[in-house]
Amino acid sequence: MTPKKTIERISLYRRIVSNLLSSGKKQAFSHEIAKLAGVKSSQIRHDFMFIGTNGRANAGYALTELMGHIEEFLTGGESDNFCIVGVGNLGRAVLAFFHARHKNIVIKAAFDKDPALEDKIIHGCRCYPIEKANEIIKSESINIGVIAVPAEQAQGVAQILLEAGIKGIVNFAPVPLKLRQGIFVENVDLTMYLEKAAFFTRNSTKVSEV
C-alpha cells in the first residue's frame, strides 16, 4: 500500500514541475526541486525512484519526462470525474479553483438543495438538485465526491453519494463521517489548519515535524 504522505509529496512535485516547465526550465537537479518542496534531496531521489525514474548525474531530471512519470503514477493516464455537493461560498471557491486548471481533475456536476441554482452554470459546472445525484453520478461516471455543506448535513450527503456508487470522498465539513469500509475519505478541516498556523506563529520555537 502506498503511504498517503508519499502521494501528497508527489502531488506537490507535480505542481512544482509544472511551474518550472511554465517558466521555461527544461532540467532540474534534485536539490533544486527539494528546496521548492521543503524536503531533503535524498527524499526527492527516493520518491522519484519509487515512481520509476532517475536523474542524470550531470544534468539532473528532464522535466518533461519527469512530469510524464508523475502523471502516469498519479492518474494511470486517466481523468477522474468529481462532483461537489454544496454550492455556497466554499463550493464556489472549489469550482473556481479547478475550472479549466487541471486536465485530470474534472468536476462534472454540482448539487445543491437550493432550487434557484438548478441548471445554472457556475465556473463551467452545471448545478443539479440533490435529488438527481444518483442519476447524474451514474450517467457521468463520477467516482469521487466533494462535500462542502454544513456539518449537520454532511452524513446525509455522504450516504446519498455512496448509494450512487461514489468510491472516494473529500470532506470539507467539520465532522467525521461514518462510512462502510472500502470508501476512501480525506477530511479537510480548515479550522485545524488555521489554528495550527496561529499556534506556531505565536510559538515559533516549538515547530516540529513530529
Report yes or no: 66 and 29 within 8 Å, Cβ to Cβ.
no
- Per-residue model confidence as pLDDT tens digits over 17-48: 999 999 999 999 999 999 999 999 999 999 99
Domain of 29, CATH number, reads 1.10.10.10
- Per-residue model confidence as pLDDT tens digits over 115-139: 999 999 999 999 999 999 999 999 9
Report yes or no: 84 and 127 within 8 Å, Cβ to Cβ.
no
C-alpha 52/C-alpha 70 separation (Å) is: 9
Whether residue 174 is contained in a domain is answered as yes
Report yes or no: 70 and 17 within 8 Å, Cβ to Cβ.
yes
Q: Mind giving me the DSSP string for 164-178?
A: TT--EEEE-SSS---
Residue type, 117: L
The pLDDT value given to residue 94: 92
Residue ending a domain, among 16, 41, 75, is 75
C-alpha 136/C-alpha 159 separation (Å) is: 15
3-class secondary structure, 20? helix
**All residues at 6 or more sequence positions from 181 whose CB lies less than 8 Å from its CB, including other chains:** none
Domain of 143, CATH number, reads 3.40.50.720
Whether residue 17 is contained in a domain is answered as yes
Residue ending a domain, among 44, 75, 106, is 75
Same domain? 147 vs 178: yes
CA-based nearest residue to 155, from 136, 175, 133: 175
Same domain? 12 vs 108: no
Whether residue 207 is contained in a domain is answered as no
Whether residue 204 is contained in a domain is answered as no
Tally of structural domains, the chain: 2
164-to-105, 127, 132, 134, 167 alpha-carbon distances in Å = 19, 17, 10, 5, 9
Q: What is the pLDDT along the chain (210 residues), one digit of tens a residue?
A: 778 889 999 999 999 999 999 999 999 999 999 999 999 999 999 999 999 998 887 889 999 999 999 988 988 767 789 999 999 999 999 999 888 666 678 899 999 999 999 999 999 999 999 999 999 999 999 999 999 999 999 999 999 999 999 999 999 998 999 998 889 999 998 888 888 788 888 876 555 554
Q: What sign results for the dihedral spanned by CA atoms 170, 176, 177, 179?
A: positive
Whether residue 51 is contained in a domain is answered as yes
Same domain? 15 vs 88: no
Domain that holds residue 90: 80-192
Beta-bridge mates of residue 121: 126
Same domain? 156 vs 68: no
C-alpha 123/C-alpha 114 separation (Å) is: 17
CA-based nearest residue to 25, from 75, 54, 67, 71: 67
Same domain? 40 vs 94: no
